[in-house]
Amino acid sequence: MVKEKRRIAIITSGGDASGMNAVIRAVTRYGIYRGFEVYGFYEGFKGLINNKFEVLDSNSVGGIIDRGGTFLYSARSEEFKCKTGQKKAIENLKNNKIEGLIVVGGNGSFRGAHDLHEQGIQVIGIPATIDNDVAGTDYSIGFDTALNVIIDLVSKIRDTASSHDRTFVVEVMGRNSGIIAVNTGIACGADYILIPEIEVDLAKIAAQIKKHRAGKRHTLIIVAEGAASAAEVASSIKLLSGHEVRVSVLGHIQRGGSPSALDRVLAAKFSKKAVDLLIEGESDCMVGIKSMRIIKNKFMDVLEAKKDIDRELYKLAHTLSI
Ligand code: F6P
């Protein structure tokens, strides 16, 4: 009699992040190497509820390492937030004889993953969100790629800003976190960074812009979506400084594109660790990277901590912009 292979499953959940495909590929191939059959459920928790999956093999994950988005699709499932939705998902996992689940996503997804663990499912998380707002890891998959997309776009804005001697207010994503904005600010040489974590006085900024104009051909203000809207900031700066201001809201373009080298390498390391943890019988935890080492954290520790911006980096960005 042929012995049935043990089964694990993977979902990608929440906002998509470039590098999720590289994770699906690495989990599938490393999982197969370790003797598992790997099930990919579509559209995150929604696919678990609706029992929509495909069995992944080495070929089905070929040619996706360099593709943005997620070929298993993603969703934010309202149904999964209630117990009846979770019950359906658990029944489907059990009926398919799936022993362990890997959830690829951000804080919201790990709340759901923790709920599954509480109801007897072995589950490991891999952090993936452009916001990089997941505690317990220096990087989440997709953050580095998003930054690279953003710096390319902001360079283009700089070209036109200095041609016309203009101030530009560029709005970046990040939900309630200023982490994308701070890193964009330092990487793009922004003059000012507005983030939800630190209050600033726009009148002071406007006065500085007026003073600095003599030697400068452009002013760049990066605003995190969680701090204010770029349009509001622009109209205040215009009113207070009398200077010509333009607005650019980068939007979902930040979530697309081929993953960076860093995100691809992280995808491989996180995926291996996640499968190894399942084999070791671990559950209720997320893999992460701290000071270049791959580690694990309990979901609750991750969810209870608020990841702060790098305050030194924020200060340095402003020091360097003078
Ligand atoms: O969490 C990633 C993110 O892109 C946030 O930066 C942003 O606030 C949110 O998702 C946008 O969500 P949606 O794609 O549902 O509009």
Edge to edge, the sheet with strand 218-224 lists 192-194, 218-224, 166-172, 245-249
What is residue 171's predicted lDDT score, i.e. its pLDDT?
A: 98
Is there an atom of ligand 1 within 6 Å of 254 CB? no
- CATH number of the 144-255 domain: 3.40.50.460
Task: Give the closest residue (by CA) to ligand 1 atom 7.
Answer: 175
Query: CB burial class (10 A; 0-12, 13-18, 19+) of residue 32?
Result: middle
What is residue 213's predicted lDDT score, i.e. its pLDDT?
A: 63
Is there an atom of ligand 1 within 6 Å of 175 CB? yes
**What is the maximum span of the chain, computed from C-alpha positions, in angstroms?**
83
Which atom of ligand 1 is nearest to 175's Cα? 8
| Residue 16 annotated among the catalytic residues of the structure | no
pLDDT tens by residue, 163-175: 998 999 999 999 9
What is residue 230's predicted lDDT score, i.e. its pLDDT?
A: 98
What is residue 299's predicted lDDT score, i.e. its pLDDT?
A: 98
Q: Cα of 108 to ligand 1 centre, how many Å?
A: 12
Q: Are 110 and 299 in contact (CB under 8 A)?
A: yes
Fold of 6-142+259-303: Rossmann fold (3.40.50)
Q: Cα of 90 to ligand 1 centre, how many Å?
A: 27
Helix (H, G, I), strand (E, B) or coil at 242: coil
How far apart CA 194 and CA 63 sit, in angstroms, is 39
Which atom of ligand 1 is nearest to 130's Cα? 2
How far apart CA 252 and CA 249 sit, in angstroms, is 9
Query: CB burial class (10 A; 0-12, 13-18, 19+) of residue 261?
Result: exposed
What are the extents of the domains in the chain? 6-142+259-303, 144-255
**Dihedral angle computed from the Cα positions of residues 101, 106, 109 and 113, in that order, rounded to the nearest 10 degrees:** 40
- Among 130, 140, 150, 183, say which to mutate for ligand 1: greatest number of ligand atoms within 8 Å of CB: 130
pTM score of the predicted model: 0.97
Instruction: Collect the ranges in the chain with pLDDT lower than 50.
Output: none
Which atom of ligand 1 is nearest to 254's Cα? 4
Is there an atom of ligand 1 within 6 Å of 15 CB? yes
Structure tokens at 19: 């590098």
Domains 6-142+259-303 and 144-255 share a fold: yes
What is residue 28's predicted lDDT score, i.e. its pLDDT?
A: 98
